[in-house]
Structure 1
Amino acid sequence: MADRVYLSILGSRFRSQLSYRTSFLLDFVAQMLGQAGELIVILVLFGRATELGGFAVHEVLIMYGIAGVGFGLADLFVGQLDELPRLIRTGQLDVLLLRPLSTLAQVVTGDIQLRRVGRIAAALGVLVYVLSTSDIAWSAPKLLLAITAPLVGAVLFGSIWVVACSICFWIVDGRELANAVTYGSNMFSSYPITVYPPWLRRVLAFVIPGAFIAYYPALALLDRPDPLGAPAFLGWCSPLIALVAAGVAGLVWRFAVRHYQGTGS
């Protein structure tokens, strides 16, 4: 029954956005250009250097593509959590809590923006191109890894989003702090972790599992040893890490909701 409710909500959101086709198309293109802007930054860097953190341009673009598709999917499906501070301040979250439906599901389906598909399309185009033109010894496991890596990345990004936004239950104006973690993780995972100082690698690669979004899967696809000496099997561990991250995110969200005392507290 609940699934049908969510599908009805999503259907109404999609129909309302597609009814203004010109506006949707312009927003779609704007999202593509925004993603392309990040690509241009990488290309400009390689215009000045032949390697970045020990990686060639096509290797960095594989990481960029995986991270870009994963972040785009997460932004599409859970990006509405950015509105959580407003929902708390205005008391609208209290209304959601009264309904016999999942609070998290109600928040993330509240205003899904289809225009964000433009970001996914741009990153996916880059990923398909660079994978098809790179010298990769393809096998069935690697093909499966290439297909699932962006999806697993989306789960990791989504889990990071849920945990980061949960702090807004205690810090109502914590959107900027949450955005620093979510959007910062996207920027971090688009580059080899070798370009960052050791303390930042430890925090954003393992405390916040950003390295498992694109860096380690890219190493596995390229058959490259990790310059930092990490074992090769980490390239295949992202699904397990994503499962753990999703479980932790669910626990954090439930804890935050259960300890939420209302707008007037």
Structure 2
Amino acid sequence: MAERVYPKLIGARLRGQTSYRASFALQCVSSGLGQLVELGVILILFGRVTSLGGFSVTEVVLMYAIAGVGFGLADMVAGQLDELPAHIRTGTFDVVLMRPLGTLAQVMASDVHLRKIGRIVASLVALVWALAHNDIAWSPATALLVVLAPLSGAVIFSSIWVVANAVCFWLVEGQELANAVTYGSGSFTSYPATVYGPWLRRFFAFVVPGSFVAYYPGLALLGRPDPLGGPALLGWVSPLVAVATAAVAGLVWRFAVRHYRGTGS
């Protein structure tokens, strides 16, 4: 039954968003411009420096673009989890529990932020530019990595969204904490890990696996050794990290839902 319900639910949401075409187009353009503003910040920085964390402007844009595509896809698919605290606080999550469908899938299918496609398109344009302006030794493996890295990043970001917002089952007003992790991960991955301090690098590499979104895949595409001393293999394991992160997110969500007691509202 679920395989028939979810496509219909998502389709209804998408039709609702595109019914006002002018408004939808403006939202897409606004999303794309927001992404380009972030790119502009990087270009302004390079107007004053020649390298950032040991990387040139084209190399930084490559990592930024990979992270941008991944984050945009995750925001479009999982961004509605930001509404979870409101569902818990008002008691409407109890309605989700009463339906014979998966709770996580219901929340994620409750809305799809199609307007975020503007962010994805802007990041793809930046990615194409970066690939053309960096010296990449093209092979079937690197071509596959260009495709898998943003997709793996989307899975990693979505998993981070699930885990961060699952905290709200215990901290009903934990939205700020969740946003700090989700959007903070997006900001972290837009720059090389070398620009951050040791504790922050360790946190976003091994606790929140943000370094596997764009930094390590970017190094693999560029054929550069890790300035931090990491093995070259790390550049190719993002899909495995994405699978592991998704598995952890699923376990955390299941545990949180099982221990949900409602707010009494």
Q: Return the TM-score normalized by structure 1.
A: 0.99
Q: In the aligned structure 2, how far is the partner of 1:136 from the partner of 1:113?
A: 34
User: Which letter does structure 2 place at the counterpart of 1:131?
Assistant: L
Alignment of 1:26-175 (within 5 A): 26-175=26-175
After superposition, give the CA deviation of every residue in 1:12-38 in whole Å (9 maximum; x if it has no partner): 111111110000001000000110111
After superposition, give the CA deviation of every residue in 1:64-83 in whole Å (9 maximum; x if it has no partner): 00000000000000000000
**Residue 14 of structure 1 pairs with residue 51 of structure 2:** no
Tell me the CA shift for residue 140 of structure 1: 0.4
Q: In the aligned structure 2, how far is the partner of 1:99 from the partner of 1:215?
A: 41
Q: In the aligned structure 1, how far is the partner of 2:246 from the partner of 2:134?
A: 32
Q: Return the TM-score normalized by structure 2.
A: 0.99
Tell me the CA shift for residue 84 of structure 1: 0.2
Tell me the CA shift for residue 217 of structure 1: 0.2
What is aligned with 1:183? Answer: 183
User: Which letter does structure 2 place at the counterpart of 1:146?
Assistant: V
Q: In the aligned structure 2, how far is the partner of 1:263 from the partner of 1:20?
A: 36
What is aligned with 1:208? Answer: 208
**Residue 258 of structure 1 pairs with residue 253 of structure 2:** no
What is aligned with 1:248? Answer: 248
Equivalent residues, number: 265
Q: In the aligned structure 1, how far is the partner of 2:194 from the partner of 2:201?
A: 8
Q: In the aligned structure 2, how far is the partner of 1:18 from the partner of 1:230?
A: 45
After superposition, give the CA deviation of every residue in 1:52-97 in whole Å (9 maximum; x if it has no partner): 0000001101100000000000000000000000000111100000
Identity level (%): 66
Q: In the aligned structure 2, how far is the partner of 1:147 from the partner of 1:71?
A: 14
Gaps of 5+ in 1: none
Say whether the 8 Å CA contact 2:205–2:212 is kept in structure 1. Answer: yes
Tell me the CA shift for residue 132 of structure 1: 2.0
Tell me the CA shift for residue 10 of structure 1: 0.7
User: Which letter does structure 1 place at the counterpart of 2:28?
Assistant: F
User: Which letter does structure 2 place at the counterpart of 1:190?
Assistant: S
User: Which letter does structure 2 place at the counterpart of 1:148?
Assistant: L
Q: In the aligned structure 1, how far is the partner of 2:242 from the partner of 2:170?
A: 26
Q: In the aligned structure 1, how far is the partner of 2:204 from the partner of 2:11?
A: 36
Tell me the CA shift for residue 133 of structure 1: 2.5
Say whether the 8 Å CA contact 2:75–2:113 is kept in structure 1. Answer: no
Tell me the CA shift for residue 113 of structure 1: 1.8
After superposition, give the CA deviation of every residue in 1:185-238 in whole Å (9 maximum; x if it has no partner): 000011000000001111112111000000000000000000011100100011
4+ runs of 1 displaced by more than 2 Å?
none
Q: In the aligned structure 2, how far is the partner of 1:112 from the partner of 1:89?
A: 22
Q: In the aligned structure 2, how far is the partner of 1:67 from the partner of 1:134?
A: 17
